[in-house]
Amino acid sequence: MATTTDNNEALTPLAAGSRVFHWHDHLSLWFSLGVGLLVMQIGAYLVPAVGTRDAVIAIVLGSCVGAGLLAWTARLGCESGLASAGLMHATYGSAFARLPVILNIVQLIGWTTFELVIMREGTQAIGKQAFGWSLDGPMGGFFTTLLWGAVLLALLAGSMVKLVRRFVSRFGLPLVVLSLLWLTWQFAGQLQAKGLDAFWSRPGNGSMGLFSALDLVIAMPVSWLPLVADYARHGKRSTGGLGGAFSGTWLGYALANIWCYGLGVMVASAAEPGSNLVTALLLAQGGLVALGLILIDELDNAYGDVYSGAVSSHSLKPRWSVRRWGLALAVLCIAFALVLPMHTLEPFLLLLSSVFVPLYGVILGRLGTGEAPASTGTRRVGLGAALIWIAGIAVYHGCARWAPQLGSALPTLAFTFVLAWFTRQSAAGGPSALAQSRG
């Protein structure tokens, strides 16, 4: 029985007249989403583990590969007009796709909660440094969490398209770039005073290898894979070539990811031993203003997570609008941020990668190598795709356990993509899964 998409915005291709994003909108959005304190913290974490040179290699390669995956998925979403949930339905079938959609919602709730906690802790640090306020207690944490939660709810009550085009592109991006430039200048000066040779030749402690560091870097852009089509579908469809969604997403996210990871490496190398990243940023000249602007930019990450979670939730229960789902999920995340400990960062990131790397390896292998699908298809279960995904998860964890020196993300991606690509004809029962989905 065919899956009905009546009144289901997530499973219906977006009309051409509703697509308004240009190249610079994609670039601004994904540069802004790529900037964050969380990214800098992971960059700071890499330095003592692998040393400066290997950290830089992992950051550049991991960011380019991860942003390339985002851009490829963005092109697929833009050409098809389908949201992430629609791409999952087209690949895995209308019934089985509910599983990855639900997993996506769970991870987006987790990410939004993370972002609220980071914004809360940044606000507490700024309040203490600038005004002498003690916001570390239960009441201070409660107040700052509700403060950022209220702003998030206000943004979700408006239009996502207007937010990206009128605020992020015109005002948010220039301010964030200026903040990053200022902080880079400040910490580059500190490193030069300490000796650039010593910084560049700093060895790691051996707790992590190069490919493990690469996995950790790739984990950040991979966490955005289930979201990118929700925004790229609003892009104007290209008449040829790779298009604005592809190039804008790749360039924007790769630049932001490399810059923020690299800044984290610089901060960790210049700061006094034992200092945390937020404290080190605050102690830099002008760091208070720069950190405040980055903290405000962190809000769009939380917004991006909740909006995409709302689109995915709407695909499961279309009787609730995307806006209504967004407000409900935001309230849930605010409650979680008040009560849950949210500092198990590395295992959380790697666990997400183990699910979404093979998930999108299959999607790109089935849908990303030809004409984009124009519908979500009619199959209830895409058994072949489902089995490849499950096998990919096993490969990811198997590599981590038995061949950690090779990493997990790239072997798993290659395994699932190649297998999905070779089996796409038999899955469609005809010339290709893409042609099948258009019919």
State the pLDDT confidence band at 6, using cuts at 50, 70 and 90. Answer: low
pLDDT at 242: 57
> What confidence score (pLDDT) does residue 159 get?
85
How would residue 4 be classed by pLDDT, with cut points 50, 70 and 90?
very low
Cβ atoms within 10 Å of 258's Cβ, excluding its own: 21
Q: Quick one: average pLDDT of 167-181? A: 83
pLDDT for the residue numbered 126: 81
How does the average pLDDT of the chain come out, rounded? 85
Please say if the pLDDT value at position 66 is more than 70.
yes
List CB contacts of 422: < 8 A, sequence separation 6 or more. none
Strand, helix or coil for residue 157? coil
The pLDDT, as a whole number, for residue 1 is 34
Would you say the C-alpha torsion 421, 422, 426, 431 has a positive or negative sign? positive
Taking alpha carbons only, the member of 179, 205, 165 closest to residue 292 is 179
pLDDT in tens, 215-265: 889 888 988 999 999 999 999 876 544 568 999 999 999 999 999 999 999
Identify the pLDDT of residue 140: 79
Assign 376 a pLDDT band (cuts: 50, 70, 90): low
More confident call, 313 vs 114: 313
| Residue 429 vs residues 240, 384, 434: alpha-carbon distances, Å | 29, 12, 11
Q: What's the average model confidence in pLDDT over 45-63?
A: 92
Residue 132 backbone dihedrals phi, psi, to 5 degrees: 75, 20
What is the structure's pLDDT at 311?
96
Predicted pLDDT of residue 437: 37
pLDDT of residue 434: 37
pLDDT digits (tens, 9 = 90+) for 302-342: 999 999 999 999 999 999 999 999 999 999 999 999 887 75
CA 306, chain centre distance (Å): 12
Which pLDDT score, from 0 to 100, does residue 425 have?
A: 67
Segment 375-390 mean pLDDT:
84
Out of 11-25, 65-79, 145-159, 282-296, pick the least confident.
282-296
Q: Is the pLDDT of residue 346 over 60?
A: no
Instruction: Please write the tens of the pLDDT for every residue from 360-370.
Output: 999 999 998 76
Please report the pLDDT score of residue 377 as a whole number: 62
Closest CA to 160 of 317, 333, 9: 9
**DSSP β-bridge partners for residue 51:** 203
How many CA atoms lie within 13 Å of 81's alpha carbon, on the beta-carbon side? 15
Residue 141: predicted pLDDT: 79
> For the domain bounded by 20-438, which CATH number is listed?
1.10.4160.10
Return the minimum-mean-pLDDT range out of 133-142, 207-216, 388-397. 133-142
Residues paired with residue 203 on neighbouring β-strands, in sequence order: 51
Looking at residues 340-350, what average pLDDT do you find?
63
Is pLDDT above 80 for 5? no
